[in-house]
Homo-oligomer: A and B are copies of this chain.
Amino acid sequence: MSGNTLGTIFKVTTFGESHGEGIGAIIDGCPPGVVIMESDFNHDIDRRKTGKTKFTSQRKEADKVEILSGVFEGKTTGTPLTLYVKNTNQKSKDYGEIREKFRPGHADYTYFKKYGVRDYRGGGRSSARETVIRVAVGVLAKKILVNKFGLCVRGYVHQIGPITTEKKNEDVDWEVVESNAFFFPEKEKIESIEQYFHKLNKDGDSIGSGITLVASGVPVGLGDPVFDRIESRLGAAMLSIPACKGVEFGEGFEAIERKGSEHRDEMTSNGFETNHAGGMLGGITSGQDVVLRIAMKPTSSILVKGQTIDTHNNETEIVTKGRHDPCVGIRATPIAEAMMALVIMDHALRHRAQNIDVDSGTPIIPAEQP
């Protein structure tokens, strides 16, 4: 069945494969009147771009977002917006080896078994290439969220293998995050990360990472119990990012060792005293920052030889050559931001839809959020 659509009112459907014509997305339900032009997408597309530094994938992607529909005279029209990025760099090459062999850690085996056919030229639909268009759609959502709410979604890498930041969310300097190739919040550790990556590259290996996402300026009231709780929707969105293996909110897994008297966030007339919960209660945003963390597994495409089988169940070995990230999590930072923005955008419109003040005519929540 179809699983390529995210959202319920602000509804995004993506299409395309790593070695096909291109990658695109339809946004159905975008409000009319949003000023948007093709150059708006460049900044975030660049942030995601492989080849940004020598430590992320060296592939040069000339990713240019085209608007195929839904915009007239620079404004969205309320009809389906189509964004498209042509694939320009899929060289015709000999796919002989991966054509028959299942790369360990990749979706080769499961796609082949599920669908009976497989685009063996690369990851096909399962490739991280698909996320380029999510970043583009995220730009649109972020723009609306900033304009309507002053709501800002940002992410940083808090851990790369053995190297963890000591910074707390509230102490992160976002300019530092954006000024290094690793979206890492501590200047002092950049050099040790670089050294760690040199070693990884030499070994032909890769490493996992952890990303923290923070949405600030979130109004109280977003999220729809019981199955569309804000953490359910955000969790699903995060876990749709290739290589994401876990998600936690606020204190997350640390809550297992917390007592009730420690974990609950108490209130004064100035608001919440703490944010152990990550900005949500009962599946609804509390008006605090929404905070979550995700775990990214290490890239499976490495130069270290691995054991596998081919399509005829013969045992064999494989080395995944080519241009790949030693730490896929770095590039995932703008992707995760985009996913978070899409979920919040959708819930903001959902909230607006249901909450009308039936008796007085005055909306419970004003049309314009503060």
Contact = CB atoms under 8 A, between A and B. Distances in A.
Interface stretch (A29-37, A41-49, A55-63, A180-188): A29-37
A209 B269 contact: no
Contacts of A72: 17, 20, 117-119, 124
A177 interface: no
Given A110-B220, A111-B284, A362-B367, 13 more contacts: A1-B224, A14-B80, A16-B82, A32-B116, A34-B358, A107-B284, A112-B369, A148-B361, A231-B239, A269-B315, A273-B307, A351-B364, A355-B369
Contacts of A153: none
A171 interface: no
Interface in A100-134: 102, 104-107, 109-119, 123-126, 130
Contacts of A67: 21
Contact of A365 (B104, B112, B300, B355): B355
Q: 3 smallest A-B Cβ distances: which pairs?
A: A107-B282, A3-B224, A3-B228
A240 B226 contact: yes
A110 B285 contact: yes
A370 B285 CA distance: 18
Interface residues of A, number: 174
A331 interface: no
Contact of A278 (B159, B245, B355): B245
A114 B284 contact: yes
Given A149-B363, A349-B364, A364-B348, A232 B240 contact: yes
A264 B306 contact: yes
Given A116-B369, A240-B283, A147 B224 contact: no
A82 B16 CA distance: 8
A11 B262 CA distance: 38
Contacts of A115: 32-33, 77-79, 355, 364, 369
B80 A296 contact: no
Contact of A116 (B6, B233, B236, B370): B370
Contacts of A124: 72, 77, 79
A9 B346 CA distance: 13
Interface in A227-283: 227-229, 231-233, 235-240, 242, 244-269, 273, 277-278, 280-283
Contact of A354 (B1, B26, B297): B1
A112 B314 CA distance: 48
Contacts of A253: 210, 245-246, 248, 253, 295
A202 to B, nearest CB: 13
A267 B17 contact: no
